[in-house]
Structure 1
Amino acid sequence: MTESAAGAVDLATRIELEDFYYREAELLDERRWEEWLELFAPELEYTAPIRVNRKSPAPDIIDGLGHFDDTLSSLTLRAKRLRTDVAWCEDPPSHTRRLITNLRVRPAEDAGRLSVRTNFMLYRSRGDMGAYDLIVGERQDTLRREGDRWLIAKRRIIIDQSSLGTKNLGVFL
């Protein structure tokens, strides 16, 4: 992996990361949560802070308060729960399609890690009434290499909406 003057990674690494993120979206859309969980490092931090509407120059992201603040252990419990008959928010399961775009990569502050930002759009429909949810935002990841694969060590999800229109957040972003 070489670094260009602009701070980006080489083309082969970029293509490898695009494939990584497309596979992640596929695993989630196909409800293959156990395989999805294998993409995360044991020390995972997985957060989605709240966005608020404030006058400038006040920050619009509240990191101390979030939609969720997970570790690998809590994500694993959430995924296992979705396989039970008490996950009412996802019974029947949602039909989802995740679109991942605008991949931006640069070396992270910690050696051997990458800082990756992607934009996402989650389309989610439930039932047969024609209603659907759109959730849009940015994922800010720190990836680390383990052997021949990448692991997500940290994910911060910034949802563009300050008020979510969805009735629940029973799906993974």
Structure 2
Amino acid sequence: MSNINADVEFAIRQFLGREAMLLDNGRLEEWVGLLDEAILYEIPLRISARKREDEFPRGAFRMHEDMAMIRKRLERMGTAENWAEDPASRTVRTVGSIFVEADEGDGVFRVHSALSLYRQRAIDRAYEWIPARRIDLIRVIDDGECRLVRRTVILAETILQTPNLAVFL
């Protein structure tokens, strides 16, 4: 039986909005608090292919991180060796087309969303736009609090127009 209702959808939408705000404001330690300990954050490699089912080679990822790797990444971001984010990116995330597709059981819901990320760094006049779709597994706890269990980011581009993926999507 599906437990998708207005309260669940509202909690998920609020969660995604809060997450975008935390990331845009560089509040990464607070953002980590939104992650489930079993988090899997992945960005599969996408190639140009004639058929859509051939666009994602099995086992090929731009990123494939668990909680330990995410924490290590955040730790590294706080050091002087964080050249990818020196100067730090200024970002604006727009999250839309949110669709709660399925109740996976145990309070976990499969959620689809579209992400448009604007990114600019310090004195650079150039900016980057990173469009993507996301497929999330989000756990909704009884009080409406949410935790991100899994995120799969499907980048629209096969050839990235950004020099790095140092920001979370």
Decide: shared fold, TM above 0.5: yes
Q: In structure 2, how many angstroms separate the alpha carbons of the residues matched to 1:62 and 1:108?
A: 28
Shift of 1:108: 3.2
Select which of 154, 161, 165 maps to 1:169: 165
8 A contact 1:140–1:156 mirrored in 2: yes
Shift of 1:141: 0.7
| CA shift digits 1:28-76 (9 cap, x unpaired) | 0111111000111111111000111111265212341111000011111
Q: In structure 2, how many angstroms separate the alpha carbons of the residues matched to 1:47 and 1:63?
A: 13
Q: 2:108 corresponds to which residue?
A: 113
1:94 and 2:128 are equivalent in the alignment: no
Q: In structure 2, how many angstroms separate the alpha carbons of the residues matched to 1:58 and 1:14?
A: 30
Q: For 1:6-155, what aligned pairs fall within 5 Å after superposition?
A: 9-56=4-51, 58-148=53-143, 149-155=145-151
What's the % identity of the aligned pairs? 30
The TM-score, its normalising length taken from structure 1, stands at: 0.90
8 A contact 2:101–2:112 mirrored in 1: no
Q: Residues 172 and 27 (structure 1 numbering): CA distance in 2 closer, same or farther, change over 3 Å?
A: same
Segments of 5+ residues of structure 1 without an aligned counterpart are 4-8
Cα RMSD (Å): 1.8
**Greater mean deviation of Cα atoms: 52-61 or 151-160:** 52-61
Q: In structure 1, how many angstroms separate the alpha carbons of the residues matched to 2:162 and 2:24?
A: 17
Q: Residues 133 and 65 (structure 1 numbering): CA distance in 2 closer, same or farther, change over 3 Å?
A: same
Segments of 5+ residues of structure 2 without an aligned counterpart are none
Shift of 1:147: 4.8
After superposing on structure 2, the runs of 4+ consecutive aligned residues of structure 1 that deviate more than 3 Å are 108-111
Q: In structure 2, how many angstroms separate the alpha carbons of the residues matched to 1:58 and 1:43?
A: 28
